[in-house]
């Protein structure tokens, strides 16, 4: 056997693969001759750091979509495909659906999305459902900066070093018997308040907004929260961190994840990095510094960075802006509060080091 093909087809398979490789080489040679600048861009795109970010984003996406680990193992080692054909078939179907959704924003499992591209009314009734683990379930988030944004009232600049808000105020936790979402400020707002209070106790002046952004239309949350975030930045010129607090959403059937903090269960914390703007690398450094210090104090507290390549999440407003997800819907508010206390300790140390150099 050769990659699952009978011996009698071996020469045919090798010839076909050779022909494909030849045409790829020919296409690259032609591009190199006609478009040298493009080739340089490709080389930059294929650099090791770029490939590492790409691989991390792909692994994070696949993991968050709930693909069975057995399917990923079988795809990496095809000889294992004979172990369980149902796992392979189901995984490949889901992978095809995810790929089609990524390219077209059409969910093959939701017929309404086929019409939403052509019929605006259908688009109003339809909501992307295939990607429940996307931090916002909205696809690209490129917030419009409206000219009519209210200007901050005149006065002395605020003292805050950290700014905290929640774009999706209604998010809540079901682990303690609650609902996924609540009207107004849900349990995620309590977590944001706990984080702000812990920062204040650690000596970091903090400003927090509990303005509702995701009602009445959730998909318009970021065109509202950008106003809140912009005002925080304008009114507090010494701001060292701008944080949007969320909780993750996992596919059905997943179990909650916890990490022990001071001997008690707490949520894991994922940093979501929007890269569709020019400041994202400064934010990435801030995120990596936060994870490094966090692992020293609370090993396992932070999950790997999740790169959102088609979004900004207001992070273009400040070099130290991040979206923090405290656990998922299966956790409890108490577990998220413990994580908030731990994050505050880590963040306070970074901020104090930062202002020493001013």
In whole angstroms, give the CA distance from residue 94 to residue 2.
Answer: 26
Residue 38 belongs to some domain of the structure:
yes
Of the candidates 246, 258, 245, 244, the one whose C-alpha atom is nearest the C-alpha of residue 175 is: 258
Do residues 21 and 41 share a domain? yes
pLDDT of residue 125: 36
Question: Do 15 and 86 sit in the same domain of this protein?
Answer: no
Tell me: do 65 and 196 sit in the same domain: no
Task: Give the domain-ending residue among 72, 107, 130.
Answer: 130
Nearest to 174 by CA among 325, 332, 326: 332
Task: Identify whether residues 221 and 250 lie together within a single domain.
Answer: yes
The pLDDT, as a whole number, for residue 95 is: 59
The pLDDT of residue 124: 36
Question: Does the residue 150 lie in any domain?
Answer: no
Whether 141 maps to a domain, the answer reads no
Domain for residue 135, yes or no? no
Whether residues 112 and 188 fall in one domain: no
Asked which of 130, 153, 170 is the last residue of a domain, the reply is 130
Instruction: Kindly state whether residues 335 and 209 are assigned to the same domain.
Output: yes
The pLDDT, as a whole number, for residue 219 is 78
Q: Is the pTM of this model over 0.85?
A: no
Q: How many helices (H) and strands (E) does the chain have?
A: 11, 8
- Domain with 94 in it: 56-130
Per the listing, tokens 């930059």 go with 44
| Burial class (CB within 10 angstroms; exposed 0-12, middle 13-18, buried 19+) of 79 | exposed
DSSP state of 300: T
287 falls within a domain: yes
Please identify which residue in the block is written with the tokens 């296409």: 27
Q: Mark whether 33 and 174 lie in a shared domain.
A: no
Residue whose C-alpha is closest to residue 349's, from 232, 231, 240? 240
- Domain presence at residue 221: yes
Do residues 251 and 65 make contact, with C-beta atoms less than 8 angstroms apart?
Answer: yes
Residue 179 lies in a domain: yes
Sheet holding 162-165, edge to edge: 206-208, 162-165, 241-248, 321-328, 269-274, 306-308
Statement to judge: residues 306 and 182 lie in one domain: yes
Lookup result for tokens 């020919």: 26
How far, rounded to the nearest angstrom, does the alpha carbon of residue 82 sit from its chain's CA centroid?
A: 34
Structural tokens at position 25:
């080489």
Give the domain-ending residue among 110, 130, 150: 130
**Alpha-carbon gap, residue 67 to 257, rounded angstroms:** 16
- Residue 103 CA to residue 128 CA, distance in Å, equals 13
* Co-location of 203 and 302 in the same domain: yes
Side-chain half-sphere CA neighbours of 344 within 13 A: 24
Tokens matching residue 161: 């070093």
Same-domain status, 98 and 117:
yes
- Domains in the chain: how many in total? 3
82 found inside a domain: yes
Per-residue pLDDT of the chain (358 residues; tens, 9 = 90+): 334 444 444 455 455 555 556 556 656 555 554 544 444 555 555 566 666 665 555 555 554 444 455 555 555 555 544 555 555 555 555 556 555 555 555 555 444 445 444 444 333 333 333 343 444 444 455 666 454 455 555 556 789 999 999 999 999 999 988 888 899 999 999 999 999 999 999 999 999 999 999 888 887 888 889 999 999 999 999 999 999 999 998 877 778 899 999 999 999 999 999 998 898 999 999 999 999 999 999 999 999 999 988 889 999 999 999 999 999 999 999 999 999 999 999 999 999 998 886 6
Residues forming a β-bridge with 165: 244
CATH number of 284's domain: 3.40.630.40
Residue 83 has which token pair? 């172990």
Our CA dihedral for 196, 197, 202, 208, rounded to 10 degrees, sits at 30
Please indicate, yes or no, whether residues 126 and 2 belong to a single structural domain of this protein: no
Instruction: Measure the CA–CA gap between 105 and 99, rounded to whole angstroms.
Output: 9
Q: Are residues 221 and 114 in the same domain?
A: no
User: Sign of the C-alpha dihedral, residues 144, 210, 233, 157?
Assistant: positive
Tokens of 290: 């936060």
């Amino acid at each position: 056997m050769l990659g699952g093909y009978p011996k009698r087809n071996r020469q045919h398979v090798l010839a076909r693969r050779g022909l494909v490789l030849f045409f790829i080489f020919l296409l690259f040679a032609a591009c190199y001759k006609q478009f040298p600048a493009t080739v340089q861009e490709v080389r930059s795109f294929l650099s090791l750091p770029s490939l590492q970010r790409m691989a991390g984003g792909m692994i994070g996406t696949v993991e968050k979509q709930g693909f069975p680990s057995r399917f990923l193992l079988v795809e990496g080692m095809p000889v294992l495909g004979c172990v369980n054909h149902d796992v392979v078939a189901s995984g490949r179907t889901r992978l095809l659906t995810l790929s089609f959704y990524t390219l077209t924003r059409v969910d093959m499992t939701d017929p309404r999305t086929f019409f939403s591209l052509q019929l605006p009314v259908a688009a109003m009734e339809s909501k992307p459902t295939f990607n429940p683990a996307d931090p916002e379930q909205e696809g690209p988030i490129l917030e419009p900066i409206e000219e009519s944004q209210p200007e901050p009232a005149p006065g002395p600049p605020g003292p805050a070093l950290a700014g905290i808000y929640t774009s999706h105020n209604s998010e809540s936790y079901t682990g303690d018997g609650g609902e996924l979402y609540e009207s107004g400020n849900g349990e995620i707002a309590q977590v944001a308040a706990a984080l702000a209070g812990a920062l204040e106790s650690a000596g970091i002046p903090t400003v927090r907004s509990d303005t509702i952004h995701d009602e009445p239309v959730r998909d318009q949350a970021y065109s509202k929260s950008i106003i809140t975030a912009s005002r925080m930045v304008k009114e507090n010129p010494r701001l060292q961190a701008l944080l949007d607090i969320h909780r993750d959403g996992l596919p059905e059937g997943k179990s909650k994840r916890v990490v022990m903090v001071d001997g008690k269960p707490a949520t894991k914390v994922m940093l979501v990095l929007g890269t569709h703007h020019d400041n994202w690398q400064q934010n990435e450094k801030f995120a990596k510094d936060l994870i490094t210090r966090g692992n020293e104090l609370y090993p396992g507290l932070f999950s790997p960075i999740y790169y959102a390549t088609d979004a900004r999440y207001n992070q273009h407003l400040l070099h130290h802006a991040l979206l923090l997800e405290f656990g998922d819907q299966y956790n409890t508010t108490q577990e998220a509060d413990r994580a908030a206390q731990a994050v505050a300790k880590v963040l306070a140390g970074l901020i104090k080091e930062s202002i020493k150099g001013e």
